Amino acid sequence: MMELFWLLLPVAAASGWWAAKRSISRQEVTAAERSPGYFSGLNYLLNEQPDKAIDVFIKMLEVDSDTVETHLALGNLFRRRGEVDRAIRIHQNLIARPMLNREQRAQALLELGRDYMKAGLFDRAESLFNELGEMNMFQAQALENLLTIYQQEKDWEKCLQVAKRLEQRTGISRRRECAHYYCELAEEAQLRKDLVKTTKLLKKAHLSDESCVRATILQGRIEAMNGSPKSAIRTLRQVEKQDSAYLSEVLPEIIDCYRELGNRAELVKYLRKLYERHHSISSVLALTDFIQEDEGDEAALRFLSGYLHAHPHLEGLNRMVGLSLKSGHTDGWGSLQILQQVLTKLLDHRAAYQCVSCGFTAKTLHWQCPSCKSWSSIKPRDGLDEICPRLPPQIDQNPTLARHNP
């Protein structure tokens, strides 16, 4: 109640001021008759009847050139507080007044559309934003809101249309968003088993944004499923150039394709180069497997422990504990088993992905952040950066790692 009191107090003050101003211009009005509505509104407010208080204050603030901004501000305050019904009522009352000029009406329509969006009434909001487009008023804001609506409704064709109009209107590139809309349509076509349509849409995605990792991953997976491992390897390896943060997403599939071709030597060579360029945990764990196969548990353990000294990582630590148990290190056997159980639980519950824009964390990869709605901003989390700062690289100083480097 007190929060609402402080919210409505400025409105009551404005209403009192307006009533006083009006009464001064009408000298025949007695002091007792100057602003009876003002005291009535305060009485409703103090008696915890905010809806009646709002009605009184709105009636007192007759819509004219001096009070339109006050109505708009009051409605926006209610919307931000989550009291959408009140915001809608205020903005509807404003629009119903015939004396508004063209710009004031457009502003009220925009705010009412935002109210409807907040309430989840997308069809009504869409109608108002389209009306603003026909009026050629507040077009950029209206298009931004339409884009949000169509993304919510997953109407990707309309998203493409609106994004291109926005690009023309504002001069701000929407190529990244458009690439993702094409990818969304490609995934829908893939579900329908329309391979020709899927391929065309992925090409459009790459034409829109040549650095679109998502389109590359989708294309590589299609090639792998269609029995073309060489093409899949060639496509998926492009991810490193586009955004190396996503290497961990495609490396298992690249490894599977190399194994399908029976080209183990080429695979190990690729992994070593990958490790040398990025020191990523995904390449390190893959190399650990091959060192274990070729040289045994002890060599794999030395390699992995040397890496973890410079690059702390929960998944790497969990693998190291497993190797220690397997290699027959009986000292502290029970403690190692407990440590592995704890690490496994930590890995099961950790958020493997994080939005670089707003910090949102997730267990699975989202191409659009559910929090800030940015595209391509959620990436795999690397190491223990969220727990402790990364240590300076010490790869070259470690004799074990030096021995296994190409």
For residue 355, give the H/E element and its range.
strand 353-355
Question: Helix axis angle, 297-310 relative to 281-295, nearest 10°?
Answer: 160
216, 202 in Cβ contact below 8 A? no
* Rounded Cα distance, 379 and 364, in Å: 10
Structural element, H or E, at residue 354:
strand 353-355
Closest CA to 283 of 252, 256, 306, 313: 252
Angstrom distance (rounded) from CA 385 to CA 38: 58
* The token pair that represents 47 in the structure block: 């008696």
**Nearest CA to 250 among 279, 278, 214?**
214
Secondary element (H or E) of residue 353:
strand 353-355
Pairwise CA distance, residues 71 & 118, whole Å: 18
The answer to the question of whether 183 is labelled as a binding residue is: no
Question: Is 358 labelled as part of a ligand binding site?
Answer: yes
Looking only at the bridges linking them, the beta strands covering 378-380 and 361-362 are unpaired
Q: What is the DSSP string of 370-390?
A: TTT--BS-EEE--TTTTTSPP
Residue 31 gets which letter from DSSP?
A: G
Closest CA to 7 of 91, 78, 63: 78
Residues forming the annotated binding site for Fe cation?
355, 358, 369, 372
Residues forming the annotated binding site?
355, 358, 369, 372
